[in-house]
Amino acid sequence: MPEKNAVEMRGVTKRYPRVLACDGVDLSIRQGEIHAIIGENGAGKSTLMKILYGMVRPDEGSITLNGKSLTGHSASDSIRLGLGMVHQHFMLIDPFTVAENVVLGIEPVRAGLFIDGRTARERVERLSSEYGLALAPDERIENLSVGLEQRAEIVKVLYRGADILILDEPTGVLTPQEVTELFVVLRALRESGRTIIFITHKLNEVIELADRVTVMRDGRVTGVVSAAETTPAELARMMVGRDVLLRVERREATPGEAVLVVNKLSAVGRKGTHVLDHVSLKIRSGEILGIAGVHGNGQTELVDAITGLHATSSGNVTLSGTDITNLRPRTIRDLGVAHVPEDRLERGLVPEFTVAENLLLGHHHRAGYSKRGLIDVAKMEEHARELIVEHDLRPADSSISASHLSGGNQQKLIVAREFDGAPALLIASQPTRGVDIGAIEFVHTNILKMRDAGAAVLLVSAELSEIMTLSDRIAVMYGGRIVQEFEGGTVSEEELGRYMTGAAGAEAAVEAEGTAEATGAAGGTA
Amino acid sequence: MSLPGASGTTTPAVETVETAGTGRIVSLLAPLVAVLAAFLVGGLVVAAIGESPLEFYSILFRGAFGSVDGVGLVLFNATPLIFAGLAVAFAFRSGLFNIGGEGQLYIGSFVCAWMALQMPAAPAVLLIPLLILASAAGGALWAAIPGYLKARFGVHEVINTIMMNFIAVALTSYLVVEIFKEPGQMTPQTAVIPMAGELPRLAGFFQTIGVPLPNANPLNASFLIALVAVWLAWFILQRTTLGYEIRAVGHNMSAAEYAGINVRRTLVMAMLLSGSFAGLVATNEVMGFRHRFLDNFSSGVGFMGIAVALLGRNSPVGVLFAALLFGVLNTGALEVDIFTEVPRELILVVQAVTIILVVVGNEIVRRRLARGRAMGCPSKEGAEAS
């Protein structure tokens, strides 16, 4: 091995009262490489990185960072030794400028009292241009796109002198274009001699970007491979421990009658902006309409407007001919609309409730579960037992609180609940966000099953591969409008990406009303 | 190089459940530990003023448990605290902080006394249930106003319930001084309610089963109503659709909304029921003990309810035990006052220290659990990712 190792972890073990989070993990990161660490939720990646960063103390094992052996180090020690972490959730202060955020905590000071704004700006500018980050130092964070916010985080870490960067799931929040741009930045950083540790669960990115890959499962390293010599299938097998269907089998759709018809629907957001602008779409039974779009372009409001959670200002929504515009959420649910919400912890679950209670959420008032104002506890338990078995929820215990389930099982719980009772319309919003490959396979298979059983499915996802795998038709949302619609399988990721960022949708946006009409009509005849 | 991972690792999910189980035990133990620690700190304070802590506590517990009369007093003193504690705990389960128990119990008590005085000839079978309902309705009405303001306009219930307290005290004071004062008396109180509206004392009953509770002991049937109220609060929360919705709203309002629950209506209902529990203090004060409404009778029972609910971790059964503990302290305080140089205010210090230690203890336990879960539980990464 000619290269020096930037990070050397040997036999690192971390025991928690009931769980072995890291079990004799060896990790070698070479100087100047992009090293991906992959594994399912709970595989120990995060714990391992926290140990490296000095946030968690290991029970056993040795750590060497840039040639220095570390014992009982703290995060500030590792920062001093050149380690920097770009967190998955950005740690930025929104009303502050980029420069202010970058220097926060170690501000250059003038006359011992005042922050030297000019020096701060200059340094940010220099770092930004060096790596092609295109960051304006005086822009406020709140005005930046997610991709630029992430760059501000990267600059923050570089400003602190990091030559080893840990990026925790950095692409989860980005558009395909932003991902491409991020990769350019990361390669530039590698060229400058920096080392990058890249935590992810997206196998294609690993193959595209990384030099080497460490795969973890159940707290152990199950493989270290060169990215050039592996395949997604092999990586998935090492991660899960069995063969995984990375792409579910899908039969041709056999659409029936129109179930959901959205006609020129508009809605106003909290700040008085038009979050939905004459949106029209139509979904027939037995087909999946996928909505692609960068988060924040009206998808959330569209789903909320259909389900009665967001008031609309004009236009209407009909479900199998019944006008459901602005009805109460309960009425809409009772008419056969099921909804897997985009944020399972914020909306989909009451974390403190037991699994059984959560499986009843939204159905709790219905006959069979509720009699004269009383919950039928026996029925609730029976219902829970059935769904737990049917959907292989683990642990198979209806009495524990949902907060104790893993993310994947929380999602399975929501899917189990919402898919129950043959809904006419199924709305699945980010149905696989943050869940394991195994659970993704499960969710995708079930969405297709629902479609084949005759449900109309509205799929909203930031995950383009998900949209492309499952959808019979694809609509792209940008700026609160549907800017384009495609037949499934007739469009490339890049093309979708261009519409998602508004680049290709410019002409569509000009023909404001006309497009909405046309899209509606196209949806009708498709 | 790759590390061949030997098979046979534990199933993480199952382990997590066990962690949750031990967590439950720990969280149940926390109040007990806090109470013991509070006694210790209280003892230090006693020692600091030059008295013997041992003597202090032995007198205190002798007062509470040394005689049947003492135990009766403990239950009597605990009764209004059970109602007040339930009021706070119940509202809290919907996510609302009802600081207005004091005002609600004043209104409930006044309505109860007023109603009784309107029906001098009604028989007990009619009057007693009616007065119980009137007490609850009075408290419910007073709580519904801030509840409605919260649900409709989002105005913070803490401010409004506090304001409603001032209004309730002043209003009942005005009514009892200016309009409903007992004729020919100086004391600002209403006339005595009809006999038919009085709740029986329990001394007679206990004597027939061989427990020598003296006739003078004020323990009355209101204590039994309090026990029923504990069960009722539990039943509503755990077994009814409304209770399910109240808990859903309290834990996660957006999930409740998503599930089609009418959040506003649920909040108002929770406050109505919470106020009802506070209003039921009247069954002890008016129907069981004084048999009239006395101006300014409550020495902060409504506020003690907050502490009771906190100590009882907002569960109805927890409230029952917390109220009994405070009943012991209140009863023992009397004895301490009589037999030692220790000022009875010290009991208040011990109570206050208990509350503080419970709050701190809860927080420590909660963090412990959260940390254990974050590190030990495999769901951590998933939770982070979402």
DSSP SS3 for B210: coil
Q: What is the pLDDT of residue A177?
A: 79
Q: Is residue A404 part of a domain?
A: no
For A446-455, A502-511, B102-111, which range has the lowest pLDDT when averaged over its residues? A502-511
In this structure, the answer to whether residues A236 and A267 fall within a common structural domain is no
What torsion, rounded to 10 degrees, do the Cα atoms B56, B61, B64, B66 define?
-110
Mean pLDDT along residues A406-422: 89
Chain B within 8 Å of A119 (Cβ-Cβ)? no
Q: What is the pLDDT of residue A507?
A: 52
The answer to whether position A459 is within a domain reads: yes
Mean pLDDT of A466-494: 92
Nearest CB neighbour to B255, from listed A43, A361, A409: A361
Beta-sheet pairing, A425-429 with A337-340: parallel
Q: For the residues A490-504, what does the mean pLDDT come to?
A: 84
Question: What integer pLDDT is reported at residue A505 of this predicted model?
Answer: 58
Q: Do B378 and A330 touch (CB under 8 A)?
A: no
Distance CA A347, CA A313 (A): 24
Tell me the average pLDDT across A112-129.
Answer: 84
Q: A370 touching B, CB under 8 A?
A: yes
Residues A301 and A211 placed together within one structural domain of the fold: no
State mean pLDDT over A394-423: 88
A59-73, A90-104, A105-119, B3-17: least confident range = B3-17
How far is it, in rounded angstroms, from Cα B233 to Cα B317?
Answer: 9
Give the relative orientation of helices B263-279 and B222-239 as an angle to the nearest 10 degrees: 170
DSSP 8-state assignment for residue A228: G
Q: In what order do the strands lie in the sheet with A20-30?
A: A20-30, A5-15, A60-65, A68-70
The Cα B207–Cα B305 span in angstroms is: 31
Closest Cα of chain B to A128: distance in Å? 28
Helix (H) or strand (E) holding B374: helix B345-376
pLDDT band for position A483 (cuts 50, 70, 90) = very high
Inter-chain touch A350–B255, beta carbons under 8 Å: yes
- Please indicate, yes or no, whether residues A322 and A267 belong to a single structural domain of this protein: yes
Looking at the fold, whether A235 and A269 belong to one and the same domain comes out as no
CA distance B266 to chain A (A): 13
Among A178-182, A409-413, B259-263, the range with the most confident prediction by mean pLDDT is B259-263
Please give the residue range of the domain that contains residue A296. 258-336+423-525
Within a 13 Å sphere around the CA of B189, how many CA atoms are in the beta-carbon half? Answer: 15
Residue A519 scores a pLDDT above 80:
no
A356 in contact with chain B, both atoms CB, cutoff 8 A = no
Cβ of B378 within 8 Å of Cβ of A220? The answer is no
Interface of A with B in 395-424 (CB under 8 A): 395, 397, 400-401, 403-410
The answer to whether B230 touches B238, Cβ cutoff 8 Å, is: no
Q: Is residue B87 pLDDT above 90, yes or no? A: yes
CA A487 to chain B, closest CA, distance in angstroms equals 30
Cβ neighbours for B142, distance < 8 A, ≥ 6 positions apart? B100, B103, B104, B107, B108, B164, B168, B275, B278, B279
Residue of B nearest to A87 (CA): B384
| Cβ distance of B382 and A219 shorter than 8 Å | no
Same-domain status, A272 and A178: no
A11, pLDDT greater than 70: yes
Q: Which residue has the higher pLDDT, A393 or B136?
A: B136
Nearest chain A Cα to B255, which residue?
A347
**Nearest-CA distance from B375 to chain A in Å?**
7
- Cβ B258–A347 below 8 Å, yes or no? yes
- Sequence-ordered list of residues with C-beta below 8 angstroms from that of A115, at least 6 positions apart, any chain: A103, A107, A108, A109
- Count of residues in chain B: 386
* A104 domain residue, yes or no: yes
CB pair distance less than 8 Å for B17 and A395: yes
- Identify the band that residue B23 occupies on the pLDDT scale cut at 50, 70 and 90: low
Q: Stretch A95-112: mean pLDDT, rounded? A: 83
- Closest-CA residue in chain A for B261? A330
Rounded to the nearest angstrom, the minimum Cα separation between A309 and chain B is 7
Residue B62 lies in a domain: no
Q: Chain B contacts of A89, Cβ < 8 Å?
A: 384
CA angle B302, B308, B310 (to 5 degrees): 115
Q: Which residues of A touch B262 (CB under 8 A)?
A: 328, 330
Burial environment of residue A297 by CB neighbours within 10 A (0 to 12, 13 to 18, 19 or more)? buried
Residue A309's nearest CA partner among A366, A281, A348, A271 is: A348
Region A258-269: mean pLDDT is 94
Nearest to B376 among A18, A332, A339 (CB): A18
Is the pLDDT at B377 greater than 50, yes or no?
no
Looking up residue B86, the CATH number of its domain turns out to be 1.10.3470
Q: What is the pLDDT of residue A344?
A: 83
Q: Token pair of A293, please?
A: 């779009």
Confidence of residue B7 (pLDDT cuts 50, 70, 90): very low
Question: DSSP string spanning B196-209?
Answer: GGPPPBSHHHHHHT
Least Cα distance to B109 among B305, B275, B304, B324 occurs for B275
Q: Which of A44-53, A126-135, A195-204, A283-292 has the highest mean pLDDT?
A: A283-292
State how beta strands A164-168 and A195-200 pair.
parallel
Residue A293 burial (CB count, 10 A): 28
Whether residue B46 lies inside any domain: the answer is: no
Q: Are A59 and A180 within one domain?
A: yes
Residues of chain A with Cβ-Cβ distance to B369 below 8 Å are: none
Residue B238 is assigned to a structural domain of this protein: yes
Which of these ranges, A55-59, A88-92, A467-471, B107-111, has the smallest mean pLDDT?
A88-92
For the segment B266-309, what is each residue's pLDDT rounded down to a tens digit? 999 999 999 999 999 999 999 999 999 999 999 899 999 998 99
What pLDDT score does A12 carry?
93
Distance (Å) of CA A355 to CA A360, A404, A438, A500, B382? 9, 9, 21, 37, 17
Which pLDDT score, from 0 to 100, does residue A309 have?
Answer: 94
For residue A251, give the DSSP letter: P
* Residue in B with minimal Cα distance to A168: B385
Residues A339-348, mean pLDDT to the nearest whole number: 89
At a CB cut-off of 8 Å and minimum separation 6, what does A339 contact?
A303, A307, A333, A418, A426, A427, A429, B258
Look at the alpha carbons of B210, B216, B221, B226 in this order and tell me if their dihedral is positive or negative.
Answer: negative
What is the rounded distance in angstroms from the CA atom of residue B102 to the CA atom of residue B275? 10
Q: Is the peptide bond before A395 cis (omega within 30 degrees of 0)?
A: yes
Kindly indicate the confidence band of residue A525, based on its pLDDT and cuts at 50, 70 and 90.
Answer: very low
A117-130: average pLDDT: 88
For chain B, say whether A444 makes contact (Cβ under 8 Å). no
Closest-approach residue (CA) in chain B for A306: B258
Chain B residues in contact with A47 (beta carbon < 8 A): 375
Contact state of A435 with B382 under an 8 Å Cβ cutoff: yes
The token duo for B295 is: 């101006």
Collapsed DSSP state (helix, strand, coil) of residue A315 = strand
How far is Cα B37 from Cα B185, in angstroms, rounded to an integer? 48
**Which of chain B's residues have a Cβ under 8 Å away from the Cβ of A43?**
381
Q: Is the pLDDT of residue B5 over 80?
A: no
Say yes or no: A66 and A174 in one domain: yes
Q: Is A218 in contact with B9 (CB distance < 8 Å)?
A: yes
Give the total number of structural domains in chain A.
Answer: 2
Q: What is the pLDDT of residue B202?
A: 95
Helix axes B301-311, B101-118, angle to 10 degrees: 130
Q: Does any domain span residue A396?
A: no
Residues B140-197: tens digit of each pLDDT: 999 999 999 999 999 999 999 999 999 999 999 999 999 999 888 888 999 999 999 9
Query: Would residue A357 count as lying in a domain?
Result: no
Q: Which residue has the higher pLDDT, B204 or A406?
A: B204
Residues A50 and A118 both lie in one domain? yes
Nearest by CB to residue A221, choosing from B2, B16, B375, is B2
- Cβ contact (<8 Å) for B259 and A223? no
Q: How far is B372 from chain A (nearest CA, A)?
A: 7
Q: Binning pLDDT at 50, 70 and 90, where does residue B34 land? A: confident
Of A346, A374, A404, the CB nearest to B241: A374
pLDDT score recorded for residue B8 = 35
Q: Chain A residues with CB inside 8 Å of B265's CB?
A: none
Which structure tokens are listed for A289? Answer: 């309409």
Q: In terms of domains, do A229 and A262 share one?
A: no
Task: Give the pairing type, strands A473-478 and A374-375.
Answer: unpaired
Q: How far apart are CA A277 and CA A302, in angstroms?
A: 10
> Which residues does chain A have within 8 Å of residue B244's beta carbon, measured at their own beta carbons?
357, 360, 364, 375
Same domain, A224 and A286: no
Residue contact B17–A309, C-beta within 8 A: no
Q: CB-CB: which of A23, A169, A362 is closest to B260?
A: A362
Q: Identify the CA nearest to A476 among candidates A286, A273, A298.
A: A298
Closest-CA residue to A482 (of A469, A465, A499):
A499
Same domain, A88 and A204: yes
Q: Supply the ipTM of this predicted assembly.
A: 0.81
Please give the residue range of the domain that contains residue B319.
Answer: 68-329
Write the single-letter amino acid at A472: D
Averaged confidence pLDDT in chain B: 86
Query: What is the pLDDT at residue B362?
Result: 67
CB-side exposure of A86: number of CA atoms within 13 Å?
30
Positions of E strands within A406-464: 425-429, 456-461
The DSSP secondary-structure symbol of B193 reads P
The three-state secondary structure class of A201 is coil
Q: What are the φ and ψ backbone dihedral angles of A257, each rounded to 5 degrees?
A: -70, 155
Contact between residue A253 and residue A472 where contact means Cβ atoms under 8 Å apart: yes
In a domain, B190, yes or no: yes
How crowded is the C-beta side of A81, counted as CA atoms within 13 Å? 19
Q: Does residue B98 sit within a domain?
A: yes
Cβ within 8 Å, pair A41-B379: yes
Are residue A289 and residue A166 in the same domain, yes or no? no
> Using one digit for the tens of pLDDT, what is the confidence trace for A455-478?
999 999 988 889 999 999 999 999
Q: Do residue B13 and residue A46 have CB atoms under 8 angstroms apart?
A: no
Instruction: Evaluate if residue B24 carries a pLDDT over 70.
Output: no
Which residue among B13, B240, B247 places its CB closest to the CB of A395?
B13
Query: How many domains does chain B divide into?
Result: 1
Residue B307 falls inside a structural domain: yes
Most trustworthy range by pLDDT among A212-226, A432-446, B7-21: A212-226
Mean pLDDT of the region A97-112:
82
Is B384 within 8 Å of A89 when comparing Cβ atoms? yes
Give how far A407 is from chain B: nearest CA, Å: 4
List the single residue in B with minimal CA-CA distance to A334. Answer: B260
Please check whether residue A298 lies inside any domain of the structure. yes
Report chain A's mean pLDDT, rounded to a whole number.
87
B7 assigned to some structural domain: no
- Cβ A204 vs Cβ A232: under 8 Å: yes
Which residues of chain B are within 8 Å of residue A434 when distances are taken between CB atoms? 382, 384-386
Q: Which of residues 13-52 of A touch B (CB under 8 A)?
A: 16-21, 23-26, 41-43, 45-47
Q: Which helix (H) or strand (E) holds A6?
A: strand A5-15
Q: Is A394 on the interface with B (CB under 8 A)?
A: yes
Which of A37, A361, A412 is best to mutate for the B interface (most B CBs within 10 A)? Answer: A361
Cα A352 to Cα B213: distance, rounded to the nearest angstrom: 44
- Quick check: A61 contacting B, CB < 8 Å? no
Q: What share of chain A is helix, strand, coil (3-state, %, to 5)?
A: 35, 25, 35
Say whether A42 and B381 touch across the interface (CB within 8 A): yes
Alpha helix locations (H) across A344-423? 355-360, 377-391, 407-419
Which has more pLDDT, A501 or A426? A426
pLDDT at res. A513: 43
The CATH number of the domain holding residue A281 is 3.40.50.300
